[in-house]
Chain A
Amino acid sequence: AQKVTQAQTEISVVEKEDVTLDCVYETRDTTYYLFWYKQPPSGELVFLIRRNSFDEQNEISGRYSWNFQKSTSSFNFTITASQVVDSAVYFCALSETLTQGGSEKLVFGKGTKLTVNP
């Protein structure tokens, strides 16, 4: 079965430090998608990135960067020069094909709570 493991339950850093959130996944599918979501205290899931399994290029968006390595089934997320506003729970997720209708469900990890202290 599909599985996402986020081994880091909580991370605490001081503002301006770089921080990497780890994500390891398991899947039977040959084509799949990986995601990162941010969940601030308000509770709403904020989409950050989607990555296709055929695209192993790393991506950078401002202070955020993602490292996808198929060989190790990892999709790690780095925040450079962290800020207090980055404090949130971050979820890694994997798409799993549903048996009917041609859609996918998302399989989430347990999340990593990031606290950035001033």
Chain B
Amino acid sequence: DTGVSQDPRHKITKRGQNVTFRCDPISEHNRLYWYRQTLGQGPEFLTYFQNEAQLEKSRLLSDRFSAERPKGSFSTLEIQRTEQGDSAMYLCASSIVPGQAYNEQFFGPGTRLTVL
């Protein structure tokens, strides 16, 4: 399967713990995006990488959140000192630089985080 993959698919943690999620984009896709989806809402943009450079961060991304894409391939999203409000589905998407009039974003299956 050559789609976007995310690991783990589910994570349950206690408040105050740190968690890290991984996203593997489609091979050769140089753009990578993180979105967060809370219950009953649509996904909301968190941050975006072009290769290894993090080019934009939403104000939703508090200081407790950090994302990296060290070699321009996979990305990690870490949440420190988790809070119950962090419970959500974290979605990763990737796209490829133009070429095309529009760079379609392909989504992974998501990581569902539950903070107890």
Spell out A's residues near B (CB within 8 Å): 4, 33, 42-45, 47, 50, 52, 91, 93, 95, 98-111
Contact = CB atoms under 8 A, between A and B. Distances in A.
Given A98-B48, A101-B55, A105-B45, A110 B103 contact: no
B56 A98 contact: yes
Given A33-B102, A50-B102, A91-B42, A105 B48 contact: yes
A43 B43 CA distance: 11
A105 to B, nearest CB: 4
B91 interface: yes
Q: Please give me the 4 A-B residue pairs with the lowest Cβ-Cβ distance, nearest first.
A: A108-B42, A105-B45, A101-B55, A100-B55
Interface string B27-47: 000010101000011111100
Q: Which of A93, A105, A107 has the most CB of B within 10 A?
A: A105
Contacts of B31: 101, 103
Contacts of B112: 43
Contacts of A45: 43, 91, 107
25 contacts: A33-B102, A43-B109, A45-B43, A45-B91, A47-B104, A50-B102, A52-B101, A98-B56, A99-B56, A100-B55, A101-B48, A101-B50, A101-B53, A101-B55, A103-B48, A103-B95, A104-B103, A105-B33, A106-B43, A106-B105, A107-B45, A108-B42, A111-B40, A111-B41, A111-B42
